[in-house]
Amino acid sequence: MNRNKKRAIIAISVAIGGIYLTMLWSKPEPIQVTVSKVERGVVEATVANTRAGSIKACRRAGLSPATGGQITHLPVKEGDYVKAGELLLALWNDDLQALVTLAEQEAQASRARAEASCIQADIAQREAQRLQRLKASGAASVELIDQMASRAKSSRAECASARAEINVSKARMDVAGANLARTLLLAPFSGVVAEINSELNEYVTPSPPGIATLPAIDLIDSSCFYMLAPIDEVDAPNIKAGMPARISMDAFGLQQFPATVRRIAEYVLDREKQARTIDIEVVFNAPQQTPRLLAGFSADAEIILSVHHNSLRIPTLAVMEGPKVMLYNHNDETLQLRDIKTGISNWDYTEVLQGLQENEQVVTSLDRPGVEAGAYAAVEQQQP
């Protein structure tokens, strides 16, 4: 090889190297993106509550005595577990107890008077019958027979009246007992005393009409809970009682609890400055396996409308309006925009009916600057 050929080869090599370095230096800095593979799996169509819901006790009662008075007995304290029928609070009631005792004594006296009166009636009846038998022999006058018959009839009436008086006495006892019961506050069901708004020797009075006052005792049934949540009126027609759901609570992090829709309210809530919503009740499928719940926990419900198995799916956050997705091309390290057709979706996944193939990679970091069709990119992280 002569010297001229060597020089030409060197010149060409230098030119090629220069062109390569120029292209390398002029290539824009790749955009760091996160991607996710197109895969097959389960996709659910779900709806969730618009605002935070609440865990509610199946039974909760704000209790106060049926009448006013001074508290003389307060045997419970906050946090106590009480059984149904157990005394929670008693007002001063010595006068009413005395009336009950008086009514009992009057009832006892009425029974004694009725017994004596009825015995006299039986004696008069037997005497009248005896004189009636003597009438045929002439041993008893008609006048005497009539007198005894009238006396027997009068005695029977007095007996009936005395027995009726017993019923009156029993009614008085019931009235006295009912008035006494109004001073006693008993637990209507078993539960935990959540709050006590009264003190011993303090006076309590019934709420005036139209003015709500704090109950003396707040009682919660701690054995049963459900969730109450507001659902947007747009989603409400798709929800039916019996649909499966999942409950999540801030108190338990990412843990979710299987549940079922129990009831959908019969009316729409129209509150000022809030979207119109419908309340739904969701119950736990396995309440015995839930952690210790407290009434008032904030909670969210995700109602499952339908489920598709083995569907082609992508993360919902990768879907753009259109719908479109941004693909990452490994061959030339560029981003490509592609139209797709979607099916059902939720916050996590969207079903893909057309436009994508399994194992292709879609960009999930769409909010980053520079993420657009044709841009050079490098995979920063591949999401599962």
Query: pLDDT tens for residues 203-250?
Result: 888 777 767 778 899 999 988 999 999 999 999 899 999 999 999 999
The band of 303, judged by pLDDT with boundaries at 50, 70 and 90, is very high
Report pLDDT for 275: 79
Residue 319, phi then psi, degrees to nearest 5: -85, 130
How much of the chain exceeds pLDDT 90, in percent?
44
Mean pLDDT across 90-96: 91
Contact 206/68 with Cβ under 8 angstroms? Answer: yes
Cross-strand partners of 259: 245, 284
Is the model's pLDDT at 119 over the cut of 60?
yes
Mean pLDDT across 101-120: 82
Say which residue, 152 or 217, is predicted with more confidence: 217
Q: For residues 60 and 293, what is the distance between their CA atoms, to the nearest angstrom?
A: 14
Is the model's pLDDT at 82 over the cut of 70?
yes
Report pLDDT for 116: 80
Say which residues have a Cβ less than 8 Å from residue 147's Cβ, sequence separation at least 6: none
Say which residues have a Cβ less than 8 Å from residue 197's Cβ, sequence separation at least 6: 214, 215, 216, 217, 218
Closest CA to 202 of 78, 77, 91: 91
Is the model's pLDDT at 131 over the cut of 90?
no
Report pLDDT for 189: 93
Tens digit of pLDDT for each residue in 310-338?
A: 999 999 999 999 899 999 998 888 999 99
The band of 167, judged by pLDDT with boundaries at 50, 70 and 90, is confident
- Out of 151-160, 187-196, 203-212, give the one with best mean pLDDT: 187-196
Report pLDDT for 307: 94
Mean pLDDT across 355-370: 91
Write out the two tokens for 374.
Answer: 């044709």
The band of 12, judged by pLDDT with boundaries at 50, 70 and 90, is low
Q: Which amino acid type is present at position 265? A: A
Is the model's pLDDT at 291 over the cut of 80?
yes
Q: For residues 211 and 142, what is the distance between their CA atoms, to the nearest angstrom?
A: 76
Tens digit of pLDDT for each residue in 25-43?
A: 555 688 889 999 999 999 9
